[in-house]
Chain A
Amino acid sequence: MDHYIDIRLRPDPDFPEPMLMGALYNKLHRALFDLEANGIGVSFPLCKHGVRARTLGVHLRLHSTQASLEQLMASNWLAGMRDHVSVSDVLVVPNHAKHINVARKQFNTGSLSRAKRYAKRHDISEEAARQIYAKVAEKRIELPFVQINSRSTHQRFALFIEHRKPQEEPVAGTFNHYGLSNNATVPCF
């Protein structure tokens, strides 16, 4: 985790930023899946939280070792996005960097299938379960998200991303094919 690459979206009259970031992140997921990479993390230094303005921003940062980043960039995964982004070289992480965990967060959004399962498990009517879950569905989510097509399950879903508090010491670990981890940290600067 001592190197990084900055990818910034270039302003585009035809496409809004969240759509471009979505396309970029989907491509990254595809590349990490194809490379079976588990040592590349992401962070979004300009992302915004809050119910009213949550977006991943225009800045995607890739973290890893120099060798893995070079391997990723050699795979031409940005084809089709080239004109929409500016990409830095592989750079060395500055000394003063702190460490941050960037993770997927899943929410119970009170979906119908969940209510159905609840009804089965607790042996109540579906109607009653739906009423219990109606409250859950009201919950507001403050995290930025991106629409993703999973490469393995082919499901399309909203991936909510949480940047936890920066800490002094790094935590080692593996990253999934979205560049996220439940415990490992990436540098934050």
Chain B
Amino acid sequence: MAKNDTLKTASVLAFERKLDPSDALLYASSWEKREDEQQWQPVAVREKSVRGTISNRLKAKDQDPAKLDAAIENPNLQTVDVATLPHNADTLVARFSLRVLAGAGTPSACNNAEYQAKLEQAVAEYKQAQGFGELAHRYANNLANGRFLWRNRMGAEQVEVSIRQLAQGKAIKEWTFDALSLSLRAFEDTAELKELASVIAKALAGELHLLLEVVAYVRMGRGQEVFPSQELILDPEQKKKKGKTLYHVSDIAGIHSQKLGNAIRTIDTWYPNENDEDLGPIAVEPYGSVTTQGKAYRQPKQKADFYSLLDNWMIKDQVPSKEDQHFVMATLIRGGVFGEAG
């Protein structure tokens, strides 16, 4: 293929996210009556004050012995938020909706027509050769296996995920999954998953309008602690007042839509893994960053990050491997502002 010397990356280049979850709201129910929505009670966030000794692991900079003594002399007085199931309910119900939008790979803003044409051609070729089947299959797995429940999944005895396809406010199709029987590390291929994946693939390709309602029933035991999203408090004064603030929407505990989105797009198994770490999939991020580990698995040095792959593809006509094409497309579906800084 001829080398393209004139094409430049657009300075304005943005993509809307194509998987658009709402916040999840948390309710309590009993396992036997879980499907009776009338019986759900909202899970409330409440405050409690605790006085503990210093028990957290100290940061490296606090390890100076003099400072350590000072820290330990301050008894650890804390007010924190907690959320638990009430004592008459053993099941957590988490409900959210997910819109799947058409036009994956079409920028919402792009100031370079030539670049946009090139991009659309590449996306069309990807659609032709691969289709959205593989990505949809992985997204479907992450809905069915309840990964979006985060810590709530771990403590569970049973998890059932029910996914309804809505049209004009009515369910026209419903799938039910036993989430704990599905792996978080491998993507599985049951008949029901195939069906769900195929509607997601169709929606991404623009052949279908898709709105899903996802309801997860998590049996954890009466009175057990549940884990809504934690709010990031930046104001140091407020931070002093409370050690942990949990997210809630009009007095119902909730999980942030960002957190749901992150779990659903945890499909990247194509990142370079030199030490052969047994890590499983990571969330699709331009640099493959995993915040809990403070590590980026797709380093620009190795040319494995989104920007290197996209530029090579668009500007230098170096078509990435099939796996990296999946990753690039998944990043475009994730959305973001990818223009080159002036």
Q: Which residues of A contact B (CB under 8 A)?
A: 10-16, 19-20, 23, 26-27, 30, 51-55, 79-84, 107, 109-112, 134, 137-141, 145, 149, 154, 156, 158
A79 CB to closest chain B CB (Å) equals 5
| Nearest-CB residue, chain A, relative to B183 | A83
With A12-B280, A23-B154 as known contacts, state yes or no: A137 contacts B57, CB within 8 Å: no
| Nearest-CB residue, chain B, relative to A13 | B290
B300 contacts partner chain A, Cβ-Cβ < 8 Å: no
With A14-B292, A79-B157 as known contacts, state yes or no: A141 contacts B73, CB within 8 Å: no
Chain A residues, Cβ within 8 Å of B243: none
CA distance A138 to B283 in the complex (A): 42
A160 CB to closest chain B CB (Å) equals 9
B21 CB to closest chain A CB (Å) equals 17
CA distance A84 to B153 in the complex (A): 11
CA distance A53 to B62 in the complex (A): 12
With A149-B224, A154-B223 as known contacts, state yes or no: A11 contacts B278, CB within 8 Å: yes
A12 touches B279 (CB 8 A): yes
Chain B residues, Cβ within 8 Å of A14: 150, 266, 290, 292
> Would you give 13 A-B contacts (Cβ < 8 Å), ordered by A?
A13-B279, A13-B280, A14-B150, A23-B154, A23-B155, A27-B155, A52-B68, A54-B57, A79-B156, A79-B157, A107-B53, A138-B72, A149-B225
Chain A residues, Cβ within 8 Å of B292: 13-16
CA distance A156 to B223 in the complex (A): 11
With A51-B68, A140-B72 as known contacts, state yes or no: A82 contacts B180, CB within 8 Å: yes
Chain B residues, Cβ within 8 Å of A11: 277-279
Give the total of B residues in contact with A, Cβ under 8 Å: 40
Chain A residues, Cβ within 8 Å of B54: 140
A52 touches B151 (CB 8 A): no
B38 contacts partner chain A, Cβ-Cβ < 8 Å: no
Chain A residues, Cβ within 8 Å of B184: 83-84
Chain B residues, Cβ within 8 Å of A140: 53-54, 68, 72
Chain B contact residues, majority secondary structure: loop
A145 touches B55 (CB 8 A): yes
Set A20, A23, A55, A82: member contacting B57, Cβ < 8 A:
A55
| Nearest-CB residue, chain A, relative to B53 | A109
With A51-B58, A52-B57, A134-B75 as known contacts, state yes or no: A80 contacts B51, CB within 8 Å: no
CA distance A145 to B278 in the complex (A): 26
Chain A residues, Cβ within 8 Å of B73: 138
| Nearest-CB residue, chain B, relative to A54 | B57
CA distance A27 to B224 in the complex (A): 12
With A27-B155, A52-B58, A110-B75 as known contacts, state yes or no: A83 contacts B280, CB within 8 Å: yes
CA distance A20 to B193 in the complex (A): 28
B225 touches A158 (CB 8 A): no
CA distance A14 to B58 in the complex (A): 21
CA distance A139 to B76 in the complex (A): 12
Interface core residue of A13, A112, A140 (most chain B CB under 10 Å):
A13
| Nearest-CB residue, chain A, relative to B185 | A83
